[in-house]
Copies of this chain bind each other. A is one copy, B any other.
Amino acid sequence: MMSYQLGYVDDRFEPAHSKAGKRFRPLLCLIATEAVGGKAERALRTAASIELLHNFSLIHDDIEDHDPSRRHRATVWKVWGESQAINTGDGMLALAGRLILDSSPDASVTLDISRHFQQMCLTLTEGQYLDMSFEGRDNVRSAEYMDMIERKTGALIAFSLWSGAYLGGAGEETRDALRVFGLELGKAFQIQDDIMGMWGSKEMTGKEAATDLYNRKKTLPLLAALERAGPEEIESLQKFFRCASDDAGAVFSILDATAARSLCEARRTAHLKSAMEALGRTAIDGGAREELEALAHELTGQ
């Protein structure tokens, strides 16, 4: 079932070559190792742990959100049921936790990386808790939302860069700058994902247009609109998100009237700028720097 999630087998355990996602988190880890002058091979186990951890979180998220499909295939719970899927995710988390303990031949480096890894896992679950708790509330502020995505999306991307730099031999300042680069990039990436979930076409996202809207997900565009809207507009938005209305057109009108999209775009750009500033505080230059910048732009649609 883990192999299925990773795209290596189909639902009858026959070999397959399914899409396994972008895998940009382990990639960022390996690039960070090279960017600070280390060999990427040194960080391979850590990079693999990161991708396993990410996939653990996807298996459980899909159950929690009742998502029937991912990467054009049925989700693990949809194929084998919720109970087996919960357990498969647990096994994958344990596997990631085992593998991270082989991060480095140096015991103290391995311990330090492993402690940050487990702390980050805990942070992920805090983010997931907040995300789910927002579903039952209609007064979520955009600041709370940013705190949530920092934990749910930012922490793992920050860890990817931080640990890669660590294994490449970077000092504390460089590691910390790359951690901030990852955290800010993670936030910009999530906001871009939110923008696409509201305004992206099927050609751009591979999903139906306005998926987030029809799933009544309270993403940043909506929260931004709520903060700028008048009483009647708020009433109208809340009606839609309580499923008491199906008038998506009305929602889009309010998003337009409150300039929610340009607010989201400005925030995304600001976080991307912060990420680049953090990168600028390091001595990383040349090809490695270009690679990190290109990946950051790609991930944020810039």
Residues of A within 8 A of B (CB): 60, 63-65, 82-84, 86-91, 93-95, 97-98, 101, 107-108, 110-111, 114-115, 118-119, 121-122, 124-126, 128-129, 132-133
Q: Please name all residues of chain B whose beta carbon is closer than 8 Å to the beta carbon of A119 when the two chains form the complex.
A: 98
- CB-CB under 8 A from A84, the residues of chain B are 129, 132-133
Residue of B nearest to A53 (CB): B94
Complex formed: what's the CA distance from A97 to B90 in Å? 12
The reply to whether A86 and B108 contact each other, CB–CB distance below 8 Å, is no
Out of B107, B118, B132, name the residue touching A94 (CB < 8 Å). Answer: B118
The 7 tightest CB contacts between A and B, nearest first, are A94-B121, A91-B125, A98-B118, A64-B83, A107-B107, A94-B122, A97-B118
Can you give 10 A-B contacts (C-beta < 8 A)? A60-B90, A64-B87, A65-B83, A82-B82, A84-B129, A84-B133, A89-B90, A91-B129, A94-B125, A98-B121
**A83, A95, A115, A119 pick with most chain B CB within 10 angstroms:** A83
Copies in the complex: 2
B contact residues around A63 at 8 Å (CB):
82-83, 86
Distance between Cα atoms of A110 and B112 in the complex (Å): 12
Q: Tell me if B86 and A86 are in contact (CB < 8 A).
A: yes
Bound complex: CA A94 to CA B125 (Å):
9
Instruction: Specify which chain B residues have a CB less than 8 angstroms from the CB of A128 in the assembled complex.
Output: 87, 90
Taking CB atoms, residues of chain B closer than 8 Å to A97 are 97, 118, 121
* Interface contacts beyond A63-B86, A101-B118: sample of 6 additional A-B pairs, CB < 8 Å, sorted by A: A84-B129, A86-B86, A88-B125, A89-B90, A97-B121, A98-B121
